[in-house]
Amino acid sequence: MKKVILLVGILVSVAAIHVVMGQTGVIMYEQKVNMHRNIPAEREAMKAMIPEFRTTKQQLFFNEEEALYKTVIEDEEEQFSSGNGGMRMVFRMPNTEMYMHRSGKIISKQELMGKNYLIVDSVQMSPWKFGDQVKTIAGYECRMAYYTRTDTIPTMVIGGPGATEQKREPQVRTSEITAWYTDKIRPFLGPERYNTLPGAVLAIDINNGERVIVAKTIELRELKKNELKEPTNGTKTTQAEFRKLMEEQMKQMGGRGMTIRN
């Protein structure tokens, strides 16, 4: 009798795995960024020119083998003013896409000065630790995972036309990453590069509210034609080469105190 029960349990588990791995659908995420969080004290006046939070939407299309995470373009530009007739700041929503294949291949489509680039890379496993907390997101019970990430960020200070370029030492930034994932949707799936957990990542919190990405709706359905396809329109490059292009562009713009970050 025990052997029968064990066999039934194994068959149920295999069937559940097959259902999860055979899923296709789309997850709608909402990203909320605290735009005031990292404004330095000497630039406090900037807080009057921009809202504290900026909210955008992203979609993640997926099937058993592939996924495509892309920005939902609602308004080409957002404009904010200081309210007293002063400086006006304009934010243009970039058209970005990230394609991921279960083989580990990643292709990121990035726009720079009106030109599209395809950054070819591979999945990097993050050092996740697992907690015992659970919470429900978009109707799915999720478990918590977390890790601390340390980034070295090159910062370039550029003088005006004809001035000598000055450089600071690279900055070291530590970020606390908290994820919530469900094993009811296939593993290695999630927003941006947060996709190396044993289930679909439905929420990401960076530095306790500095940047939060949360799944709002999950629709398991057959994908429509062209909803999920590998980006091909752009110049292929590497992450290092794209960083150099960004640095060169900032030099041409004569920016001051600009930070380059992936």
Domain map (residue ranges) of the chain: 25-259
pLDDT score at 154: 59
pTM higher than 0.85: no
More confident residue, 214 or 168: 214
Q: Is the pLDDT of residue 41 over 50?
A: yes
Q: Give residues with Cβ within 8 angstroms of 114, minimum separation 6.
A: none
d(CA 59, CA 72): 7
Q: Give residues with Cβ within 8 angstroms of 53, minimum separation 6.
A: 32, 33, 34, 35
Q: What is the pLDDT of residues 67-83, one digit of tens each?
A: 999 998 765 555 554 44
Q: Calculate mean pLDDT across residues 175-193.
A: 96
Q: What is the pLDDT of residues 111-154, one digit of tens each?
A: 888 889 999 999 999 999 999 999 999 999 999 999 999 977 65
How many Cβ atoms are within 10 Å of 26's Cβ, its own excluded?
Answer: 18
**Which one-letter amino acid corresponds to residue 208?**
N
Q: Is the pLDDT of residue 241 over 50?
A: yes
